Amino acid sequence: MNLNDERGSSTAEFAVLLPAVAVFLSLLLCLGVLGMKQIQVQQAAAAMARELARGEENSVVRSSGVRLAGHDATYSVSTAGGYSNVHVTKSVSIPLLGEVKVRGEASVVLE
């Protein structure tokens, strides 16, 4: 047996690093999903604000938010100082991070 023989060393190194690479890729995927949900929630808030600016009824405003963010999100609309503010919140379950809340908000001037 030759002590300077390095055959198989790259296989052993790969086997040691494989779990870390798998966790890193899983975390990267989870963060991508979280970013996608954040964008959906922000788009829902913006769409609801646009509907309010058009003078639509509350049912139309809410259906616009539900279409983009889903039924499991929470929606609130408040009016103060000539502005209407829309807040959308959604809980996202990320396997490695747990439960994360994403929020989106938009404001529109009432005429």
- Residue 55 counted as domain residue: yes
3 found inside a domain: no
Digit-coded pLDDT (tens) for 64-83: 999 999 999 999 999 888 89
For residue 29, what are the domain limits? Answer: 9-109
Higher confidence at residue 39 or residue 96?
39
3-state helix, strand, coil in the chain (%, to 5): 50, 30, 20
Could you report the per-residue pLDDT of 11-36, keeping only the tens digit for each?
A: 888 888 999 999 899 889 988 999 99
Predicted local confidence at residue 8, as pLDDT: 66
pLDDT of residue 99: 92
The answer to whether position 30 is within a domain reads yes
Asked if the structure places residue 57 within a domain, the reply is yes
pTM: 0.80
In the predicted model, is pLDDT for residue 1 greater than 60?
no
Whether the CA torsion 61, 67, 69, 72 is positive or negative: it is positive
Long-range contacts of 25-33 (CB under 8 A, 24+ apart): 26/95, 26/96, 27/96, 30/94, 30/95, 30/96, 30/97, 33/92, 33/94
Counted domains in the chain: 1
Whether the pLDDT of residue 111 is over 90: the answer is no
Among candidate residues 83, 77, 80, the one with its CA nearest the CA of residue 111: 83
* Token pair listed for 53: 């600016």
Q: Which helix (H) or strand (E) holds 53?
A: helix 9-54
